[in-house]
Structure 1
Amino acid sequence: MMPSVADPAPVLWITGLSGAGKTTVAGLLTERLRLRGGSWVMLDGDRMRAMLPWPGGYEREEREKIAFYYGRLCAEISGQGIGVVCATVSMFHSVRRCNRDTMPGYREIYLRVPIEELRRRDSKGLYGASDAGGLVGVDIAAEMPEAPDLVIENHGGQSPEDAVSVILAAMEKDFRGLRSIRRSDQNPEQSKAE
């Protein structure tokens, strides 16, 4: 039997369209959080999809089912006291509502990048190949986040490091779960006073 954790760790759900920089930002953010102390894991939508116990399709219904699966996985890890940084498109209101309702430390970070910028930086050839169908935001309607905790606008002038700095600053100000993200060199009495 697994011991229960009274205080679940934060879940940082980094969402945005394909090519917005979610995986890069999530990887850098996870590294920085680990340096500050605490246990953190990064989950990436593409890598999780490759590990699914069933062949996940790309139709809307299948994508939504997979996004719910990602949320349940994040909740399980968080419930064991390990912080989660999850990079995923998952553009469904139903999934985000469920995440908020079931994960006390859930924070939604939306990387909003205009479609023109996504096409310009398209290193995977996703937007050029979108004529084949199946690309969220182009062929499949995306339900853009309605009330994310943080929106990072990037029209091409912001680096992934800049985005991580913005996220860390927001976390230090008002994200829940601060016990897991405070710098290890900070005085514990100072943390209580904030």
Structure 2
Amino acid sequence: MNYPGMTLWFTGLSGAGKTTIALGVLHEIKARNYRVEMLDGDAIRCHLSKGLGFSKEDRDTNIRRIGFVASLLSRNGVVVIVAAISPYREIRDEIRCNTTNFVEVYVKAPLEVCEARDVKGLYAKARAGKIHNFTGIDDPYEAPLNPEIICYTDSETVEESVAKVITALEKRAYIFTPQNSAVDTN
């Protein structure tokens, strides 16, 4: 059976939980036999956007590239999951306008929580001046104004956030609840 594709765009600060929740959603959607791909911001920077820096212009170029690939895949019936900081509202809104079936998920966590989760030590390096243009420290993060879904990762478990996303996608008929395969014996 063919289903319309869609783009599920996770945005939030580094360490908010975008990739963790996106992977949980990916596994749930894949288990329902949908065609699904994940575009992770870190992986895209290593391959498709290699050589780009962290200026606003370079960040916008990176997000446009991710958005272009997501749009190509989704218009061909793939559920595309994007997990990228994508700090600027204007470029996210541009991607939304150019993408059919776009759902924005704001993975929200206070900066201090993200810093406490930072296993790579990037926030500490940014605060020490060793990394420049770091989102949330010396470069802005512009939170979405009207995301379809908000995951509050400082107060929700990963499982609760994944379930929230899956439920929202079911309510919008982007994915469907699996049918019970048990045979009715009545």
Give the TM-score taking structure 1 as reference length. 0.84
Structure 1 residue ranges, 4+ long, deviating more than 6 angstroms after superposition:
none
Alignment of 1:117-132 (within 5 A): 117-130=113-126, 131-132=129-130
User: Hey, what does 2:168 align to over in structure 1?
Assistant: 170
User: Hey, what does 2:184 align to over in structure 1?
Assistant: none
Secondary structure at the counterpart of residue 14 of structure 1? strand
* Identical columns (%): 31
Gaps of 5+ in 2: 182-186
User: Would you say the 8 A contact 2:16–2:114 is kept in 1?
Assistant: yes
User: Would you say the 8 A contact 1:91–1:145 is kept in 2?
Assistant: no
With over 3 angstroms needed to count, the CA separation of the structure-2 counterparts of 1:63 and 1:147, relative to structure 1, is same
User: Hey, what does 1:43 align to over in structure 2?
Assistant: 39
Secondary structure at the counterpart of residue 128 of structure 1? helix
Secondary structure at the counterpart of residue 127 of structure 1? helix
User: Hey, what does 2:140 align to over in structure 1?
Assistant: 141
In 2, the alpha carbon distance for the partners of 1:158 and 1:97 equals 26
Letter of the aligned partner of 2:176 in structure 1? R
Q: Deviation per CA, 1:41-63, whole angstroms, max 9, x where unpaired?
A: 11100001101265111112111
User: Hey, what does 2:88 align to over in structure 1?
Assistant: 92
Alignment of 1:42-81 (within 5 A): 42-52=38-48, 54-81=50-77
**Alpha-carbon deviation of 1:168?**
1.0
**Alpha-carbon deviation of 1:154?**
2.4
Give the TM-score taking structure 2 as reference length. 0.88
User: Would you say the 8 A contact 1:91–1:143 is kept in 2?
Assistant: yes
Gaps of 5+ in 1: 1-5, 188-194
Between the two proteins, the alignment pairs up a number of residues equal to 177
Whether 1:29 and 2:25 are equivalent positions in the alignment is yes
